[in-house]
Structure 1
Amino acid sequence: MADSQPPKDRWSSQAYSASASFVPQLTKTLLRYLDPQPTDRVLDVGCGDGKFTENFLPSVGFVLGVDSSPSMIESAKKDYSGPKTEFRVVDCRYLEQETSIVNGTWDKVVSNAALHWILRDASTRISTLRAIHTALKPGGAFVFEMGGHGNVAEITAAILGVLVHHGVPIEKARESVPWFFPSESWMREALENLGFQVEKLEIEYRPTKATTGPDGGIEGWIRLMGAQMLETLPENERDGAVKEACDILETILTRHEDGSKWLGYVRLRGVARKS
């Protein structure tokens, strides 16, 4: 509903860069599928701080970036404002209510590493995808990459286990998981039912090296990405829970040859066209 509370803003450009700077960088295939053209009007759904948008901005005519995080939109405006860009705070779970955006005028809608957050809410999942379809011109393309089924399974299981160990009921722990990682089959059916013609849909297992700088690594990733799960615990228990999860994951994520730690990323990537 339009009067629903906006999501709590747990994001900052600095924290995201420290723990997940690789996300906007590992986009070569997605950018190739986007195939940016000088006349393209592009809607970037879940644009974050604009680091991904920067990759195709010089090659298109105009970009509107939307994201629910005021702090990330503020960073995007600071770094990428210009005559070809606009950035707005929009809760994309309710994208269909943004009639000035969802108006059938976009050549392309793109989304990188955001839909697994946006589609977490089952009650708005299909309406968000429908809004993307409505936003496009006939023949326009929806190009996306998101977490697919099995993404970061090790970390998710570790955090769930720690929450239960700290007395959180398993049902409550499961409800706190902030992501929806669909299978290829689920996404194909959803898109086709909405009238998209699916041109590409693929799953890629892509182990990704964790960052190593201050406030990064596995601990930084859990604190940022798993914040909603950690908030099921009293504040004075959260640091201990993060350490416990990291201890559990040490053997699983660490490569013996050099001590580096790797996240079990699974990416679902696709191109769907509006008929």
Structure 2
Amino acid sequence: MKDVTLQNDQWSADNYNTHASFVPQLGNTILSMLNAQSHERILDVGCGSGELTNDLASQCAQVVGIDASPDMINKANRIRRYDNTTYHVVDGQAIPSWLTENQIPTFDAVFSNAALHWMKNDPEGVIKGMHKALKSGGRIAVEFGGFMNVGEVHTALIQALNRRGLDGKAYSPWFFPSDIHYRHLLEKHGFNVQQIDLIPRPTRLDTDVAGWIETFGFTFLNALPTDRDRQQMIQEIVEQLRPSYQREDGAWYVMYVRLRAVAIKT
């Protein structure tokens, strides 16, 4: 089977599990909204290191997990608990070509948690890919960053690069749509939206905001020439955010806003 990835791997599964273990742990809401059935074949788009995929595999007949990061897929294979699960290095923006080139049978459902906001280059292509992956009447259940997600950190990263003479917004890797906009895109590309909501969620970090930036803000950090420059920018942002986002006991929080959607292929 030919896998498809569109970018160099900048992810570290170990860093992700150290600084962001809350991501799969907080994915049970959208997993329950999927309501997987024991006979179903399901595609997990942006499966990451596979924790939620394991939970999904216990509920259905077969799961195929795809992710653009080889490091994440390697970790997912190491912790795989069920024989009905396979993993492939595939960028979610390349689903149509992957399906065609490998003659992949259609799925009963598509699931995705905390991944679609990373597919900024072609979010409509992702929707088209999910539509193509589904049987007639199949469904998607997805959760990802929506409008205002991690707004304080996102703005701080952009402004830090602006202060250094760069176009900070151009380095942002994220697509954070409103529920109104994403509903429009789903309907435009052949989905009947059953439910779509923006959910504010104050989220306690596993470590601190510096660890969060190192894990998720790599496109901003890579704009700077040296590690010293990158560390200086991180500490600058830490001090900017500390008054409002570090609790009295030292715990750090970020305001996540999740977009949750369930839709049926028409």
Q: Specify if TM > 0.5.
A: yes
User: Matched residues in 2 for 1:53 and 1:82: separation?
Assistant: 10
Counterpart residue number, 2:145 = 147
Q: Secondary structure in 1 aligned to 2:29?
A: helix
Cα deviations by residue, 1:99-122 (Å, 9 ceiling, x for unpaired): 15685620010000000001x11x
1:113 counterpart = 2:119: no
Q: Secondary structure in 2 aligned to 1:43?
A: strand
Residue number among 164, 168, 173 corresponding to 1:173 in the alignment: 168
Which segments of 5 or more consecutive residues in structure 2 lack a partner in the other structure?
none
1:263 counterpart = 2:264: no
TM-score of the two chains, using structure 2 as the length reference: 0.94
Deviates further, 76-85 or 18-27: 76-85
User: Matched residues in 2 for 1:234 and 1:268: separation?
Assistant: 35
User: Matched residues in 1 for 2:18 and 2:96: separation?
Assistant: 33
1:245 counterpart = 2:228: no
Aligned length: 261
Which segments of 5 or more consecutive residues in structure 1 lack a partner in the other structure?
none
Q: Secondary structure in 2 aligned to 1:204?
A: strand
Give the C-alpha shift of residue 82 in structure 1. 4.4
Contact residue 44 and residue 110 of structure 1 kept, 8 A: yes
User: Matched residues in 1 for 2:41 and 2:84: separation?
Assistant: 9
1:219 counterpart = 2:220: no
Cα deviations by residue, 1:72-91 (Å, 9 ceiling, x for unpaired): 00111111164201100012
The percent of aligned pairs where both chains have the same amino acid is 38
Give the C-alpha shift of residue 125 in structure 1. 2.0
Give the C-alpha shift of residue 13 in structure 1. 1.5
User: Matched residues in 2 for 1:43 and 1:17: separation?
Assistant: 22
TM-score of the two chains, using structure 1 as the length reference: 0.91
Q: Secondary structure in 1 aligned to 2:254?
A: strand
Contact residue 46 and residue 65 of structure 2 kept, 8 A: yes
User: Matched residues in 2 for 1:248 and 1:32: separation?
Assistant: 37
Residue number among 202, 209, 221 corresponding to 2:204 in the alignment: 209
Contact residue 41 and residue 60 of structure 2 kept, 8 A: yes
Specify whether residues 103 and 194 from structure 1 end up closer, same or farther in structure 2 by C-alpha distance, changes over 3 A only: farther
Contact residue 110 and residue 140 of structure 2 kept, 8 A: yes
User: Matched residues in 1 for 2:103 and 2:147: separation?
Assistant: 28
Q: Which amino acid aligns with 1:28?
A: N
Give the C-alpha shift of residue 68 in structure 1. 0.5
1:13 counterpart = 2:5: no
Q: Secondary structure in 2 aligned to 1:23?
A: helix
Q: Which amino acid aligns with 1:232?
A: A
> What are the equivalent positions in structure 2 for 1:74-223 lying under 5 Å apart?
74-80=74-80, 82-98=82-98, 99=100, 105-118=106-119, 120-121=120-121, 124-168=122-166, 172-212=167-207, 217-223=208-214
User: Matched residues in 1 for 2:5 and 2:16: separation?
Assistant: 23
Give the C-alpha shift of residue 244 in structure 1. 0.6
Give the C-alpha shift of residue 167 in structure 1. 2.6
Query: Over aligned residues, Cα RMSD in angstroms?
Result: 1.6
Contact residue 104 and residue 134 of structure 1 kept, 8 A: no
Q: Secondary structure in 1 aligned to 2:23?
A: coil
